[in-house]
Amino acid sequence: MGQASPLHQPRILFATPEMADFVKTGGLGEVAASLPRAIRRHYDIRILIPGYRQVVERYDHIPVVAQLPGHAGIPPCELGLVESGDGLQIYVLLSPELYQRDGSPYGDAQGDFSDNDLRFARLSLAAAEIARGVDPTWSADLLHLNDWQAALAPAYLAWAGLRVPSILTVHNLAYQGLFSRDALGRLGVPDHAFQMDGVEFYGQLSFLKAGLYYASHVTTVSDTYAREITTPGAGCGLDGLLRTRASQGRLAGILNGIDESWDPRTDPHLATRFEADDWKGKRANAETVRRQFGLAVSRGPLFAIVSRLVHQKGIDLSLAAAETIVSEGGQLVVIGQGESRFEDALRDLSRRHPDAVGVHVGFNEQDARRMFAGSDFLLMPSRFEPCGLAQMYAQRFGSLPIVHRTGGLADTVEDGVTGFTFSESSACGLSGAVRRALDTFAQKKRLNVMRRTAMSRTFGWDEAATTYASLYARAFGNGAGLRARAA
């Protein structure tokens, strides 16, 4: 190594399987685009993302900064480095055989890709290699890993004897990255690690458990969810390990924020921009949404669903509530995609009530923004919700969320003040809250007070960024983990 030099600003590598700049399937992609940008005020932070087609096709040329060797059955690949328009440094894993495919980051119409173990072990291993110093110009002092796809990194560090601090953020404990034990050999997992105190989970290899076990710290995206996952009811079989991490003071909930662009006063996607108390402006947005979804002209309440259409999100409960909404003269617009049983049921609902229910299977953010702006209420009866972003977007746009009191929903929606919460996850629980919303809609003064209060909640990223920054400092042991390096 070169001559000794003063300590550089600590370097953080933020490894993620999706980022909204290029590709996203849900909330993690949005967080990965915003959080590092908020953290760079505190630390030198770079992103690591697989070189999916959606990433590499964005650039004419991606300079290669390092060659990453293979390991067991994980193929070698190149490490590229690009810069975003606003100066964020992004490492791109260049492996056409693993990443340049049609479909989402995780699969195609046939289902999940069959080699996802290799694809995301490659991502995890690359993060560990960047900490080891494979790029001679920049190496990570701390790894910030997101979800199961990056969660083998702390294990690779441990198996290589590298004492680099690592933080695993769990955006959703229900997605664990479980693979057959046959994968151990090709991923280079040592035999001794395949046990309860290690990466084994009921006879399978669990990427997520590896991270929960080997990372220096574990975080999740709200306080309430951080508590819930230490209980058998919400721990997805990992509550024992999570209780251990909590008792070591190494499990924390840090609430997500939302990007500043979610502001109805400035949003260029809206037909009419508006602010609190300009309820005419909000109504103009409602009219646009009704027209866009082919609904009848109405002065009744407009409900929205903006969601991945999966069991977690309680879509079945919303389908039941839709009948109440329609029979009470309300309307519903839906955008999202996911399980075909929900897509079909929603399409069917819309066919039965063409004037009152509009459904768009698919996703685009511009329509989502217009729906938050135009709707009076957002339905989000998630069975569990680590944080949830849609209920925060809705509040900013004066659409009052109706949510199950769980996880981040409990931490961000104030019952009767900025939205409506219910405690029993059932059609009956949701319909009680929908009825309260309908009553409120009939009392314009109360409705407008709630809208105004909801719109004043900013949910910015600053607080989360400062909390992550202190956690990084703690993980470094106040600088003890930093290695001096030639500047």
Ligand X SMILES: Nc1ncnc2c1ncn2[C@@H]1O[C@H](COP(=O)(O)OP(=O)(O)O[C@H]2O[C@H](CO)[C@@H](O)[C@H](O)[C@H]2O)[C@@H](O)[C@H]1O
Distance separating alpha carbons of residues 417 and 180, to the nearest angstrom: 48
Among residue numbers 194 through 253, which ones bind ligand X (CB under 6 A)?
A: 221
Q: What is the bridge-based pairing of β-strands 111-112 and 107-108?
A: antiparallel
Q: Is 25 in the site for ligand X (CB under 6 A)?
A: yes
Which residues are CB-neighbours of 303 under 8 A, at least 6 positions away? 325, 330, 331, 332, 333, 375, 376, 377, 378, 379, 434
- Would you list the DSSP string of 86-152? T--EEEEEE-HHHH--SS-SSEETTEE-TTHHHHHHHHHHHHHHHHHT-STT---SEEEEEHHHHTT
Confirm if 194 and 152 have CB atoms less than 8 A apart: no
When the beta carbons of 95 and 172 are compared against ligand X, the nearer one is: 172
Among residue numbers 322 through 381, which ones bind ligand X (CB under 6 A)?
A: 336-337, 363, 368
When the beta carbons of 43 and 393 are compared against ligand X, the nearer one is: 393
* Residue 327 structure tokens: 């029979």
Q: Is 27 in the site for ligand X (CB under 6 A)?
A: yes
Confirm if 123 and 17 have CB atoms less than 8 A apart: yes
List 166's β-bridge partners, or say none. 143
Q: Is 411 in the site for ligand X (CB under 6 A)?
A: no
Burial class (CB in 10 A: 0-12, 13-18, 19+), 283: middle
Nearest distance from C-beta of residue 418 to ligand X, angstroms: 16
Q: Which of 23, 31, 402, 413 binds ligand X (CB under 6 A)?
A: 31
Q: Is 144 in the site for ligand X (CB under 6 A)?
A: no
Distance separating alpha carbons of residues 167 and 211, to the nearest angstrom: 9
Give exposure, 330-349, as e/b (b: 16+ Cβ within 10 Å). bbbbbbbbbeeebbebbeeb
Q: What is the bridge-based pairing of β-strands 44-50 and 89-94?
A: parallel
Nearest distance from C-beta of residue 245 to ligand X, angstroms: 18
Q: Is 314 in the site for ligand X (CB under 6 A)?
A: no
Q: Phi, psi (5° rounding) for residue 282?
A: -65, -40
Distance separating alpha carbons of residues 129 and 106, to the nearest angstrom: 23
Closest residue to ligand X using C-beta atoms: 26
When the beta carbons of 21 and 385 are compared against ligand X, the nearer one is: 385
Nearest distance from C-beta of residue 188 to ligand X, angstroms: 29
Q: Is 23 in the site for ligand X (CB under 6 A)?
A: no
Q: Of 98, 92, 89, nearest to 79 (Cα)?
A: 92
Q: Is 24 in the site for ligand X (CB under 6 A)?
A: yes
Residue 24 known to bind ligand? yes
Q: Which of 15, 23, 28, 66 binds ligand X (CB under 6 A)?
A: 28
When the beta carbons of 103 and 133 are compared against ligand X, the nearer one is: 103
When the beta carbons of 24 and 451 are compared against ligand X, the nearer one is: 24
Nearest distance from C-beta of residue 142 to ligand X, angstroms: 20
Count other Cβ atoms within 10 Å, centred on residue 328. 13
When the beta carbons of 154 and 386 are compared against ligand X, the nearer one is: 386
Q: Which of 125, 153, 205, 306 binds ligand X (CB under 6 A)?
A: 306
Q: Is 35 in the site for ligand X (CB under 6 A)?
A: no
Q: Which of 142, 226, 242, 389 binds ligand X (CB under 6 A)?
A: 389
When the beta carbons of 258 and 356 are compared against ligand X, the nearer one is: 258
Q: Is 8 helix (H, G, I), strand (E, B) or coil?
A: coil
Nearest distance from C-beta of residue 225 to ligand X, angstroms: 8
Q: Is 461 in the site for ligand X (CB under 6 A)?
A: no
Distance separating alpha carbons of residues 395 and 371, to the nearest angstrom: 12
**Which range in 19-27, 58-66, 411-419, 431-439 contacts ligand X by CB under 6 A?**
19-27
When the beta carbons of 26 and 481 are compared against ligand X, the nearer one is: 26
Distance separating alpha carbons of residues 154 and 97, to the nearest angstrom: 25
When the beta carbons of 389 and 475 are compared against ligand X, the nearer one is: 389
Q: Is 256 in the site for ligand X (CB under 6 A)?
A: yes
Q: Is 17 in the site for ligand X (CB under 6 A)?
A: no
Nearest distance from C-beta of residue 407 to ligand X, angstroms: 7
Positions at the binding site: 24
Positions at the binding site for ADP-alpha-D-glucose: 24
Which residues of this protein are in contact with ligand X, per CB under 6 A? 24-28, 30-31, 171-172, 221, 256, 306-308, 336-337, 363, 368, 385-390, 393, 408
